[in-house]
Amino acid sequence: MKVENPNAYRFIMPDDIYLLPQDRGLKAMPNTAEEVAETAPEAEAIPELPKSQPPTVAPTPVETPAATFNYLGSNNKKFLILVKYTDAEFIAPAHLAALESMLTRKGLGLVDVAILNVNNYPTSAIADFNAFFAPQKLLIMGDKALPEGTRRPPVNKVFKSSAGDTLFSVDFEEMMPSNELKKAFWEQMKNL
The reported pTM is: 0.65
Handedness of CA 165, 166, 172, 175 (dihedral sign): negative
Q: Does 56 or 85 have the greater pLDDT score? A: 85
At 17-46, the pLDDT tens digits run 656 666 665 555 555 555 555 555 666 666
Q: How confident is the model at residue 118 (pLDDT cuts 50, 70, 90)?
A: very high
pLDDT number for residue 161: 86
Pairing of strands 79-83, 137-141: parallel
Q: How confident is the model at residue 91 (pLDDT cuts 50, 70, 90)?
A: very high
Helix (H/G/I), strand (E/B), else coil: 67: coil
Per-residue pLDDT at 61 exceeds 90: no
Domains and CATH numbers, the chain: 72-191 (3.40.470.10)
What does the alpha-carbon distance between residue 87 and residue 98 come to, in Å, rounded to a whole number? 18
Counting Cα atoms < 13 Å in the Cβ hemisphere of 24 gives: 12
Residue percentage of the chain with pLDDT more than 70 = 68
DSSP string of 160-183?
EETTEEEEEE--HHHHTT-HHHHH
Mean pLDDT of the chain: 81
